[in-house]
Amino acid sequence: MSLQPLRKILQANRYPGRSVVWARTLDGVMCGGYVLTGRSQASKARALRLVGHELVVGPTDPTPNDPLRHYVAATQRDGWLVFGNGEQVAAVADHLQAGRPPALALDGLDYEPDPPIFTPRITVIVNLASPADAWFGAARRSLSDRTTTNLLTLSIRDLAPGDAVLMTTYVSDGQFLVTGEPFLEALTEAADQHEFLEELWEALVPQFRVAAATFTPQDLDGTALRHQGP
C-alpha cells in the first residue's frame, strides 16, 4: 500500500486537535512539527512562544493557567529533544535527564482527564546524538469500558527524505470526534523546515487552526512559527 501525502491526510481530518510529526524533509534534514487547533474560544486563545529555550503553549489573554491547555510543548535537555501535547513533555524530559531510556521515560503516562473525550497524550523523543532515531509515545484510553491506559511506544529508525510519521489526538469532521489513529506514516513534499511549516499550516482548516511550529534537532531556538490571525 502506497503512502499518502501528509498534506492530504491533514486536509481530510478537519479537526485533528493537537498533532506531532517527525519527518525528514527533502533536503535530508530531520524536522519536528507541532500543530495546535481549537474549537472553543478558550482553545483558540492560545499561542506558541519560545520562552527560555522551550516552546510553550500559553494564553493570549489574562486567562488563569490551565494545565490541559497551557504547557511546555517542546524542550531540549542533555542531548534529548522532547515534544508533545501536554505537561508530560516536561516529565518525560526529567526522566531522560535522570538516565532512563526512552521507553521507560514514556512509561507511566496517562490520557488526559477530560471526559467524555479522554484526549490521548502524544509525545516524541529524539536522540540528538543520532537524530534519525525517534520514539513516539501515546497514552490512550481503551475503546471498551476499561479505564486503564493503553500505552503505545513506537521506535522510528532511518527515515528517508520525504518520510514522515504523524500522531493526532483526534479524527474529526469538525463536529463529531474520536481518538486518532495510533500513528500514520506519510510523505512530506517539503524541501526544508520552512516549507514543512507551510505544508502543515496550509493543510489545516482555517476555522480551527491556532498555531503550528517546525524545528530541527539541536536548534529549538530556530523554531519557525505560524499563528492564526485575530
Backbone dihedral angles phi then psi of residue 5, each to the nearest 5 degrees: -60, 140
pLDDT at 1 (0 to 100): 61
pLDDT at 188 (0 to 100): 98
Domains and their CATH numbers in the chain: 4-225 (3.60.20.20)
Please list, in sequence order, all residues whose beta carbon lies within 8 angstroms of the beta carbon of residue 101, skipping any fewer than 6 positions away: none
Mean pLDDT computed over 200-212: 97
CB atoms within 10 A of CB 151: 17
pLDDT at 230 (0 to 100): 62
Residues in the chain: 230
pLDDT at 81 (0 to 100): 97
Q: What is the pTM of this model?
A: 0.95
Give residue-wise pLDDT tens across range 158-204: 999 999 999 999 999 988 999 999 999 999 999 999 999 999 999 99
Number of alpha carbons in the 13 Å side-chain half-sphere of residue 52: 5
Mean pLDDT computed over 206-211: 96
Say how far apart CA 27 and CA 20 lie, in whole Å. 20
Mean pLDDT computed over 133-140: 96
Cα-based torsion angle of the residue sequence 208, 211, 217, 221 in order, rounded to the nearest 10 degrees? -170
Give residue-wise pLDDT tens across range 18-66: 999 999 999 999 999 999 999 999 899 999 999 988 999 999 887 777 8
* Amino acid code (one letter) for 144: S
Say how far apart CA 201 and CA 197 lie, in whole Å. 6
Assign 105 a pLDDT band (cuts: 50, 70, 90).
very high
Task: Assess whether pLDDT exceeds 80 at residue 14.
Answer: yes
Give residue-wise pLDDT tens across range 71-93: 999 999 999 999 999 999 999 99
Say how far apart CA 147 and CA 102 lie, in whole Å. 25
pLDDT at 143 (0 to 100): 84
